[in-house]
Amino acid sequence: MEDWSARQYLKFEDERTRPPRDLLAQVPLLKPRLVVDLGCGPGNSTELLVERYAQSDVVGLDSSPDMLKKARERLPKCTFIEADIATWTPDPRTDLIFGNAVMQWLPDHPVIMRRLLETMPQGGVLAIQMPDNTREPALRFQKEVGESGPWKDHPEVKAAARDDLPSPEAYYDLLKPVCSHIDIWHSVYNHVMATPAAITEWFKGSSLQPFLSPLDAAARGQFLAAYTAKIVGAYKPRFDGKVLLRFPRLFILAVR
């Protein structure tokens, strides 16, 4: 898959930064030695961590060169590293692992979460937020368009749709044996979008990327047109012409 676009992702920076801010508010640590922002993207979530933990070492980690370039421009005094979360091992001093909207992209991510938690010192915190929106129209339409166009037999397009997240009970049973405390909750955001087409723009920076990446320019335009038509039919304007994007998210905070 081609690289993620920091510019596209940041078109909705304010809305995308609300979930990590809400997650960070629940982290009980006062002065962690080392904080790692997994899947740091363009650094918007890392910035929150730097502001709260000014006396701590904060490191951002991502696999996207474009995202890391933007993050380094944003926070030139912060350390950013390119790495694969699936194989990355934390430094023993890591008191906080913070993952904002990244784990859902990893195969077998619950197993990775448990492995990371097991490596942490006593009292260390694993704080994770993931979109739990695969049943929402905006995500269902991506899969439907992917299965109906001339690209339907393309192996990358066929594999592009995310699976549903496991249940909270499944996360609890996997993580609780290796932590002293765990908190799991959902929040549903209703983001105000200027038009239905803005919903397409939102997801071009995230879950549409795996569908669009393997296609040529003409096919991308065709895919986006078919997708936007479905969005317009499902997300009706409110009294002021704007639309609401319902966006459920799952939060997990585990203390070693």
Give the CATH number of the domain where residue 180 resides: 3.40.50.150
| Domain housing 249 | 6-255
Q: What is the pLDDT of residue 3?
A: 46
Q: Phi first, then psi: what are they for 184, rounded to 5°? A: -130, 130
Does residue 247 lie within any of the structural domains?
yes
DSSP-derived secondary structure letter, 59: E
Count: domains in the chain: 1
pLDDT in tens, the chain (256 residues): 554 455 555 566 778 889 999 999 999 999 999 999 999 999 999 999 999 999 999 999 999 998 899 999 999 999 999 999 999 999 999 999 999 999 999 999 999 999 999 999 999 999 999 999 999 999 999 999 999 989 999 999 999 999 999 999 999 999 999 999 999 999 999 999 999 999 999 999 889 999 999 999 999 999 999 999 999 999 999 999 999 999 999 999 999 9
In-domain check, residue 218: yes
pLDDT of the residue at 11: 61
Cβ-in-10-Å burial (0-12, 13-18, 19+) of 133 comes to buried
Residue 162 has phi, psi (to 5 degrees) of -75, 145
The pLDDT of residue 164 is: 97
What is the C-alpha to C-alpha distance for residues 57 and 239, in angstroms, rounded to an integer?
47
Query: Is 21 a domain residue?
Result: yes
Task: Answer whether residue 169 is part of any domain.
Answer: yes
pLDDT of residue 7: 54
Position of tokens 């091992």?
Answer: 89
Tokens 């859902």 belong to residue: 104
Strand-strand pairing, 57-62 and 79-82: parallel
What is the token pair recorded at 157?
């397009």
Q: Which helix (H) or strand (E) holds 68?
A: helix 65-74
What is d(CA 119, CA 93) in angstroms, rounded to the nearest whole number? 10
> Residue 1: inside a domain, yes or no?
no
In a domain, 248, yes or no: yes
- Residue found by looking up tokens 């474009």 in the block: 66
The verdict on residue 83 lying in a domain is yes
Residue 182 forms part of a structural domain: yes
The β-bridge partners of 61 are 38, 81
